Amino acid sequence: MPFHMYRSDNRPPQTIATDGFQARMPLDEDTARQLVRRSLIDPHAPLQLPDARDSAIVGYFQRTQANPTLVGLPALYAEFRRETSASTMHVSTSPDIGVGGILNRSNMYRIEVPNGRLYAWQTTAATRLATTPLEITRLDQAHPAADPKTGVPSTKPVLLTDTDSIDTARLFAISSPAGDGEVAFLTSVPKEWITQTRSLENKGPWQPMPNAHAQAPANRGTAPVAPPQPPPAAGPHRRHPRRPTSHRRCTARRPHSRSRKLRRSRPPRRRTRVMRIPTHIRVTTTMRCTGRRSVIWKACRRPHTRSCQNARAAPPA
């Protein structure tokens, strides 16, 4: 069964689905392993931290190079929490959704660590890491039980790894039972572990992350969408539809294309309306390209009756 953690963040789900959760000063697996060895196992172990002037942790290890000592897990975790936002080396999460401060952001994300079991490392009285870890399947098993005499629970943080050896571990986190029960990841949280998101501003429901939502239709067995096919190439006998011509005069001052020049060189089509009178014909012609109308009178060649013979002398006024 995976371990569930929650983290609130102001960044949108699209950004988190691409980058995951990383600290401002991210530590890779080797650097996190060096930090654990130098602080909890061997004070003379080599350590190469990122260069940061504002980091108190980096400044402490630089000042104590001549006389190194073990730091201890409680002191190391306290320094992690005192770091500013620009020099943080951890990713803060919480196993509870309702702790203080986690609801003051725009979005909430659910993290599922795929490991079925983790290993909790406690510290001895000499601030040294224990030699044998405790295998756990729930986070509440990581911390020791309360004192049977006083009933006060333990407040010491523990180190969490994904294997029972520091040399082969790829996940490093510090779990604290005090306060909000924070789980601080020394290594980054990959995007594959972030499964759901929820908007805190709109108080929306839990929804899958954008990357998981995009793969859901394929997992349900729906038919894949075929890619769009390119349009067929125009053959030698393919004719394109003629564009509609306008009856208005072209007032553009730019040079016309060759097709428009060819259309203008052709004789314009005429639309004729004929109105017959006894002796003459009124012909109205409209030019389709210019829109002009011309009216002419033509003598009627048809034979008329005797009553209209006298009216053929001249056209009507």
Mean per-residue pLDDT, 172-189: 89
Q: How many CB atoms lie within 10 A of CB 196?
A: 17
Are residues 208 and 80 both part of a single domain?
A: yes
Task: Give the up-direction half-sphere exposure of residue 43: CA atoms within 13 A in the CB hemisphere.
Answer: 15
Tokens of 222: 């729906």
Residue 93 lies in a domain: yes
Q: What is the DSSP letter of 104?
A: S
- In sequence order, the β-bridge partners of residue 107 are 9, 199
Angle of helix 56-63 versus helix 73-82 axis, rounded to 10: 130
At residue 249, the pLDDT reads 55
Residue 22 lies in a domain: yes
How confident is residue 45, by pLDDT bands cut at 50, 70 and 90? very high
Are residues 286 and 199 both part of a single domain?
A: no
Q: How many residues does the chain have?
A: 317
Burial 94-108 (b: 16+ CB within 10 A, else e): bbeeeeeebeeeebb
At residue 253, the pLDDT reads 54
* Residue 172, SS3 per DSSP: strand
Contact 172, 160 (CB under 8 A): yes
Mean per-residue pLDDT, 162-179: 91
Are residues 152 and 41 both part of a single domain?
A: yes
How confident is residue 300, by pLDDT bands cut at 50, 70 and 90? low
Are residues 144 and 27 both part of a single domain?
A: yes
At residue 46, the pLDDT reads 92
Are residues 212 and 301 both part of a single domain?
A: no
Domain count within the chain: 2
Are residues 201 and 60 both part of a single domain?
A: yes
| CB neighbour class for 3 (10 Å; exposed up to 12, middle 13-18, buried from 19) | buried
The DSSP element (H or E) to which 32 belongs, if any, is helix 29-36
Residue 264 lies in a domain: no
pLDDT in tens, 212-246: 444 444 444 444 555 566 665 555 555 555 555 55
Full domain range(s) for residue 276: 270-312
Residue 239 lies in a domain: no
At residue 264, the pLDDT reads 55
Predicted structure pTM score: 0.64
Q: How far apart, in whole angstroms, are the C-alpha atoms of residue 137 and residue 146? A: 19
* Residue 129, SS3 per DSSP: strand
Sign of CA dihedral 186, 187, 189, 193: negative
Task: Pick the range with the lowest mean pLDDT from 12-16, 63-67, 165-169, 190-194.
Answer: 63-67
